[in-house]
Amino acid sequence: MVNQSKINIYLPKFNQHNTMKKLLLIITLTLLTFFAYAQDRVNATLPKINPIANGKLTEATGWLQNDAGEWLSRKNKIPANLSGEFKILIDSDNYGLGESRENFIYMELRDVTINDSTYSILIKKHKDGYYQYESIQRGWTPQTSIIYYVFKTSELEKLKNLEADKSHVIRINTVYSNRIPYVDTKASINTVAKDLYKRIPEDKFGMDELEVHLKVYKGKVRFTIQNYEQYISNNFEKAYYETSLLNFEKLFKLK
């Protein structure tokens, strides 16, 4: 039989002060770990494109003199170079996009801020598309694409005070440029900002340059605005857009 009077039971003393210190330390370390991981998930800062456009062009007539010498015209596109029995295809499928797919839904000019520097950006939304069966040209699927060019705002001075009744070729030196194929029809400037963010680390050399062919003639402006490497014709006199001077200056100021 055990003599209970001789059993010594050890009970540690409860130190409330030390326990609280340990608890606070654990909480602090936990919070620091949480915030460290949270910082890794912060979204990147996108280039900021001004929601208010400095200029916008939504309508012009495209003209082209085809190989048969006939003048063809269409709204917001330079017609495909078709003649004779093939002219019936001028508004169908791939041909309906215009010569070298030259057409536009709108062209607009905005300010864009990239790494604390402000530039101008020209955004061109245009109709596009592809054949599901390219080899037999069947299954046409209409789409929408965007082309944009970023350049120093001072480049726009090249368009001002040009001699009338004379054709001019103006090369706009770009900082960034790209084509975004097959976007949603409701694609916004945020779509462009996200794409531009991906372009920023790239070598600026080799970006597509912007070339403007321009002629002010009898109160109207004949023009093309596109990548100079994809210019649709060596003869600007036979392929161009035309609109009133007032309408053109909704996009670019000429004085």
Q: Which residue in this structure is represented by tokens 């010498």?
A: 69
Q: Where are the alpha helices (DSSP H) in the chain?
A: 16-39, 189-199, 245-248
pTM over 0.75: yes
Residue 222: pLDDT band with limits 50, 70, 90:
very high
| Total length of the chain | 255
Q: Where are the alpha helices (DSSP H) in 40-169?
A: none
Summarised one tens digit per residue, pLDDT across range 23-81 is 777 777 676 666 655 556 667 789 999 999 999 999 999 999 999 999 999 999 999 99
Average pLDDT over residues 142-168: 96
What's the rounded Cα separation, in Å, for the pair 202 and 174?
A: 13
What pairing do the DSSP bridges indicate for beta strands 106-114 and 174-183? unpaired
Domain locations along the chain: 48-248
Q: Please check whether residue 82 is in contact with residue 94, taking contact to mean a CB–CB distance below 8 angstroms.
A: no
Give 237 or 13, the one with higher predicted confidence: 237
Residue 212: pLDDT band with limits 50, 70, 90:
very high
Tokens of 83: 């003649």
**CA nearest to 60, candidates 47, 72, 40, 75:** 75
